[in-house]
Structure 1
Amino acid sequence: MNLQIIFAIIRKQWKDTIKNKSILIQFLMFPIICIVLTSSVSSVEIPGIYFVILFATMYVGMAPIIIMASIMSEEKEQGSLRMMIMSNVKPVEYMIGVGTLVFLCCLIGTLIMGITGGYQGMELLSFMEICSLGLLISLLLGSIIGILSKNQMAANSLSVPAMLICSFVPMLSMFNQNIKTFGQWLYTQQINDILTNLSTHPFPTQSILIILANLVVLVCIYIKIYGKRNLLS
């Protein structure tokens, strides 16, 4: 593995991201909405922290999935991924480079929301840690979709249902017990629960185990799919 190639991919993808408004919007949309609602709508009945937790959970469960899948499928469709692989860029170097950029950009978004929510010190660090774990899982899911998709249309057909389930189930579970029963096994539901009780009961063992189980399952799926399919297929 060549670190220079990985950094070159990160720089290339950063330049492409700045030019690609649809991907740039995905990075910025939820932090901006969170800031606006927290500062303008929050009240005694609906505290500002409610919007921070809600949109942080949705951001973790939505942005990395659709961004990672979109980047990979777009470069497949345009042929730029094939050119990179033919130029001695290893698939793992490409995945690490793109994944690192998406992760860091999303991490900045979660940091903005954490500061907006008034988290400070160790509480802010705990907020970032649990969101980082969720971002990593979503990145894996987005990468799996990217590997499976031949073009952007195929990626959208897979990523939209995945991100809707991951991002909206925690919100819907507040109003429906059946959804909550299903959602308790979903990593975003556990992240939402942890963030809700962060000041009183940070990092409950059961929630962390469920999140790690989600991570292990997706890692196994990723390894199996990555081993069977060509990144360019």
Structure 2
Amino acid sequence: MNISIKRIQAIFTKDYKEFSRNYAVSIMVFMPFVLALFYNKMGIHTIDSYFMTINLTLAMVTAFVQSCLIAEEKESNTLRSLMMSPASIADILIGKSSLVFAISAIVLAVTIYLLGYKPGNVLVLALALAVSILFYIALGTICGLFTKTVMEASVAALPVMGIFSFGPMVLGLSEKYPIAGIAEWLPSSQLILLAEGLEAAMPAKEIVVSFAVMIGWTIAAIIAASVLYKKRMTDD
């Protein structure tokens, strides 16, 4: 697989210009800060509150912005030209994901600081968040490829927010409704379990399991995004 750094940089620069011009999309990066400040001022300092904000950030920023950037390309008929260019699939997907990855990492870092959250192991949590960012980027790519306009992409990103951001809350109903226990295997739920494990110094085996589940979701989402992208290349 040929990867061109110059092509990736060119796509990154192009996306940055589009992102900075589209205020309806770029304004989303500030929403997690408002929520983080609210929780901090209210004195709510629990793992659940921290990760509700973090998971919402991943949906509102990572998945939403990625889907809108992809959909904007389709709406302006530039995605087809990009697909037909000498740039490989890897060049395009990495180039179009790099900006969102950088934005997400910065927003998450600031959000965690504003929340006052001090993780038990910064390095392990950072790796887990990096995997989560890749997962939500893949979801955003899928949403963007399925839709034709930025408005449609905005709507398509809502189920991502509902399922993966609020999914862990369903676990509270698992005793009454056993089927709700499925939510434990969502990557957002595993991220919370991993964070709780870091705080409680749980065995490394449990942390590895959470990582494995998150990585599995991420690989599946990336494969799905790649397959859908290839399909769009051959669509009329």
- Structure 1 length as normaliser, TM-score? 0.83
Unpaired segments of 5 or more residues in structure 1?
none
Give 1:2 deviation, angstroms: 2.1
Instruction: Specify the alignment match of 1:80 in structure 2.
Output: 78
Alignment partners' CA distance in 2, 1:50 and 1:145: 27
Give the CA deviation at 1:89: 4.0
Counterparts of 1:118 and 1:206 in 2: how far apart (Å)? Answer: 23
Query: How do residues 144-223 of structure 1 correspond to structure 2 at under 5 angstroms?
Result: 144-174=142-172, 177=175, 178=177, 180-201=180-201, 204-223=207-226
Secondary structure of the equivalent of 1:199? helix
The 10-residue stretch of structure 1 (104-113 or 219-228) with the greater mean CA deviation from structure 2:
219-228
C-alpha separation in 2, matches of 1:145 and 1:119 = 33
Question: Aligned partner of 1:125: which letter?
Answer: L
Q: Structure 1 3/123 Cα, relative in aligned 2: closer, same or farther at 3 Å?
A: same
CA RMSD for the aligned pairs? Answer: 2.6
How far residue 83 of structure 1 moved from its aligned partner, in angstroms, is 4.2
Task: Name structure 2 gaps, 5 residues minimum.
Answer: none
1-structure distance, mates of 2:226, 2:21? 32
Give the CA deviation at 1:49.
Answer: 5.5
Shift of 1:93: 2.1
Q: Distance in 2 between matches of 1:24 and 1:95?
A: 20
2:68 aligned with 1:70, yes or no?
yes
Identity among equivalent positions (%) equals: 22
Moved more, 206-215 or 176-185: 176-185
Name the SS of the counterpart of 1:53 in structure 2. helix
Alpha-carbon distance change, 82 to 7 in structure 1, aligned in 2, over 3 angstroms: same
CA contact (8 A) 2:143 2:156 kept: yes
- Tell me the secondary structure at the aligned position of residue 11 of structure 1: helix
Conserved 8 A contact 1:170-1:180: no
Alpha-carbon distance in structure 1 between the residues aligned to 2:212 and 2:86: 39
Query: Relative to 1, partners in 2 of residues 1:95 and 1:220: Cα closer, same or farther, differing over 3 Å?
Result: closer
Superposition TM-score, scaled by structure 2 size: 0.83
Deviation sequence 1:161-191 (CA, Å, 0-9, x none): 1221111112343456447412112111111
